[in-house]
Amino acid sequence: MPRIAGIDIPEKKKILFSLQYIHGVGPKIAAAILTKSGIDPDRRTNTLGDQELAAISKVIDENYVVEGALRRQVSQDIQRLKDIHAYRGERHRRSLPARGQRTRTNARTRKGKKKTVAGKKGVNG
């Protein structure tokens, strides 16, 4: 398997889609990387030579924050929000949606499994 930016990428797929296995590289950035390095997006990853893979790695290293550095940066940004007690930081601390979504229904992904409250139904008064 070829390695770009320290990540194994699939060799049977087209390079445009293989690059998207790197955390922080989506369709638009993958296309930009290939344009800057002068490689055809329709070529398969296993047909690329060492120089071409090195050119792709060089473009990624010089212009983009990916993988571990990106994960670290995002977690530091979230920690900063928590430290300054920003509203978004408080939402992250409580594991609730931070971008204005409703929580009365449809927040199960963020809140986790249902927690049943005992004795709520039968109490009158």
Q: Give me the pLDDT at residue 11, please.
A: 86
Same domain, 19 and 48: yes
Dump pLDDT digits (tens) for 52-87: 999 999 999 999 999 899 999 999 999 999 999 999
Same domain, 21 and 57: yes
Same domain, 9 and 53: yes
Give me the domain span that covers residue 30. Answer: 3-63
pLDDT above 70 for 94: yes
Give the number of domains in the chain.
2
Same domain, 58 and 104: no
The rounded percent of the chain whose pLDDT value lies above 90 is 73
Band of pLDDT at residue 121, cut at 50, 70 and 90:
low
Band of pLDDT at residue 15, cut at 50, 70 and 90:
very high
- Kindly state the DSSP code that residue 121 receives in the 8-state scheme: S
Task: Look at residue 124 and tell me if it is in a domain.
Answer: no
Task: Look at residue 120 and tell me if it is in a domain.
Answer: no
Residue 107 CA to residue 100 CA, distance in Å, equals 11
* DSSP calls for 41-66: TTSBGGG--HHHHHHHHHHHHHH---
